[in-house]
Structure 1
């Protein structure tokens, strides 16, 4: 299912003013997704664009937001309505690696997330980000369903 900016804002209304994904393609069968991220248009922090200083942190935030969108938009096992799982709280990141290339804040990033496992209320997902065909970040994130 493809989600545009309006649908994304409905799933993550609390993320303004740094809502990073501009579109997300979510796959309910695998609880995975792909997002288009543009830091230049969407990362205005403290009244100015902050990509050079915060690019890595913003990519991590984008991964968390994208996974939140995917699990918020895709029905959980058992067939309950999308979004019925409640709020998800980011617990942290693990195994994060950033590529050696300098990031271009003006160029789009493609970010992928995929659910790896669920243990009780905790979801674990893998993520990776590419820019211009080169991997710029990857790792794992954990969220709590509460």
Structure 2
């Protein structure tokens, strides 16, 4: 049973990574096209810093998801790693998608822009295969078992 749960958590992490990557790509493209005060908004420090933060989150979540998937492919138990990947990927997905939505401004509400759909999809990943709180319970139990004091 745990095998299926672990695969499901890695799957949710992978879906969250995909949405995050796409939301990031949309934000970067839009920020280079949209102009304010005579220059693309990507050249404003506030937007540039948001893009940098988004890229960091996308990369970190992706690396953790790949690690969990590799462990599962190798036939190892990965309940802790799958839980950690699911937490970081789903939480960062919600954050990155929201940042992208905000960069799009009012256009983010328009069905003509893909970010509108991503904003509807991202929140589900926070609860699919167990909430972050449930994952943290599983992670902490696994860590306490792994790092149990001897004596």
Establish whether TM, by shorter chain, passes 0.5: no
Does 1 or 2 have the higher relative contact order (CA < 8 Å, sep 6+)?
2
Higher normalized helix content (fraction of residues)? 2
Q: Which has the higher strand share?
A: 1
TM-score by length of 1: 0.28
Using structure 2 for the length normalisation, give the TM-score. 0.28
Larger of the two Rg values belongs to structure: 2
